[in-house]
Amino acid sequence: MTEVLSQDEIDQLLTAINAGDTEPEVFKPAADTRKIKIYDFKRPDKFSKEQIRTVSIMHETFARLTTTALSAQLRAMVHVHVASVDQLTYEEFIRSIPTPTTLAVINMDPLKGNAILEIDPAITFSIIERLFGGPGEGTKSQHELTDIESAVMEGIVVRILGNMREAWAQVIDLRPRLGQIDTNPQFAQIVPPTEMVVLVTLETKIGEVEGMMNFCIPYLTIEPIIGKLSTQFWFSSVHRGTTPENLNLLKEKLANVDVSVIAEIGSIQVPIRDVLGLRAGDVVRLNNVRAGDAFSLNIGNKTKFLCRPGIIGKKVAVQIIKKTEELEKEEFEELTAEGEEAL
């Protein structure tokens, strides 16, 4: 805290200066400690650090899913991970990628506009060679994709887009669709050259071949959900997990899962010698089972229903009578009623 001089002290100081006993201190301007940040109005930053971090987290999930999908499809060791997430102009992105390359124009429904998934030529030709039965070492020659090679890459991109939908599920029910595949970056003008984009660079390795996959999303496309790209919203949505979008996505994925359904008449333990001696016409008496009793209908390894045997056309069938939960409820009510009567 600055010390305040009294009037007597001020008078003594002025007297000493006039008498020449002391020299006035040389004035030194205070050092300017402010940090100056250069801001380019032609290249404005539209994404905050927190939003960039959230985009990185989302695509780390996308990278893991893509690693699994490509490993299974190519039958090779594949590794995909997020190398960087940056914001730059669309012109800078177009200038940074080689020609020719694989440029997939992606429709980001329900968001407006398109995005671009660029796959390095080394990765592209390694995938094509692997799917055609080769070792997957790629090729050093650069050429535009043939019609057959384009069709192959379309299938790969469509498979990758399914992973993208799952990775974005906590933010929006994204339904990305492949529009077209180009090889010349100059033909893929989805936004003006000065428009800002977020660029997700995915380092990809297939066997011994290394390259990059770049996912370019314009700010105009992602602007409607920019408020959801925060760490707080991301983790709250992950822990919440009961939104209608999440439940619908979960139901959609479970709808195609195959499970075993077994109608069990009964059970009995017999020695293996008796099993080996069974012949057509032999009768096996089951424990505690009488003619006309209902069967147990098992889903997986759990009993879920009671059923009766029957025939539909020329096929054997069962008719479901009731759920086992309903049966347990009835038994519980009967036991409760008996207990009340005893009291």
Span 122-152, pLDDT tens digits:
899 989 988 888 877 766 666 788 889 889 9
Report yes or no on 69 lying in a domain.
yes
Q: Are residues 262 and 313 in the same domain?
A: yes
Span 34-53, pLDDT tens digits:
666 665 556 666 788 888 88
- Among 254, 282, 313, give the residue marking a domain's end: 254
Q: Are residues 186 and 65 in the same domain?
A: yes
pLDDT > 50? residue 7: yes
- CB-based contact 126:136 (threshold 8 Å): yes
Report yes or no on 281 lying in a domain.
no
Q: Are residues 297 and 226 in the same domain?
A: no
Q: Are residues 220 and 329 in the same domain?
A: no
Report yes or no on 324 lying in a domain.
yes
Amino acid in the structure at residue 314: K
Strand, helix or coil for residue 145: coil
Q: What is the length of the chain?
A: 343
pLDDT > 60? residue 342: no
Rounded mean pLDDT, 325-336: 60
Structural tokens at position 215: 């996912």
In this prediction, residue 322 has a pLDDT band, given cuts at 50, 70 and 90, of: confident
| Beta strand segments in the chain, E | 78-89, 102-107, 114-119, 177-182, 196-206, 209-218, 261-264, 295-299, 302-312, 315-323
Span 268-306, pLDDT tens digits:
888 888 888 888 888 888 877 777 788 888 887 788 888
Tell me what pLDDT residue 30 has.
58
Return d(Cα 202, Cα 205) in angstroms, integer. 10
Q: Are residues 206 and 321 in the same domain?
A: no
Question: What is the number of structural domains in the chain?
Answer: 2
The residue with greater pLDDT, 251 or 154, is 154
- Percent with pLDDT over 90 in the chain: 15
Could you list the residue range(s) of the whole structural domain that residue 140 is in? 49-254
Q: Are residues 79 and 215 in the same domain?
A: yes
pLDDT > 90? residue 201: yes
pLDDT > 90? residue 251: no
Rounded mean pLDDT, 326-334: 60
Q: Are residues 238 and 223 in the same domain?
A: yes
pLDDT > 80? residue 263: yes
Report yes or no on 127 lying in a domain.
yes
Q: Are residues 53 and 105 in the same domain?
A: yes
Return d(Cα 63, Cα 303) in angstroms, integer. 39
Residue 101, domain CATH: 3.40.1550.10
Report yes or no on 64 lying in a domain.
yes
Q: Are residues 181 and 70 in the same domain?
A: yes
Span of 18-22, 76-80, 99-103 with lowest mean pLDDT = 18-22
Strand, helix or coil for residue 258: coil
Q: Are residues 213 and 147 in the same domain?
A: yes
Report yes or no on 10 lying in a domain.
no
Q: Are residues 202 and 304 in the same domain?
A: no
Structural tokens at position 100: 């020719």
Structural tokens at position 42: 């032609």
Which of 172, 191, 178 shows the shortest CA–CA distance to 93? Answer: 191
Report yes or no on 310 lying in a domain.
yes
- CB-based contact 204:71 (threshold 8 Å): no
Amino acid in the structure at residue 99: T
Report yes or no on 16 lying in a domain.
no
pTM for this model (two decimals): 0.57
Q: Are residues 137 and 227 in the same domain?
A: yes
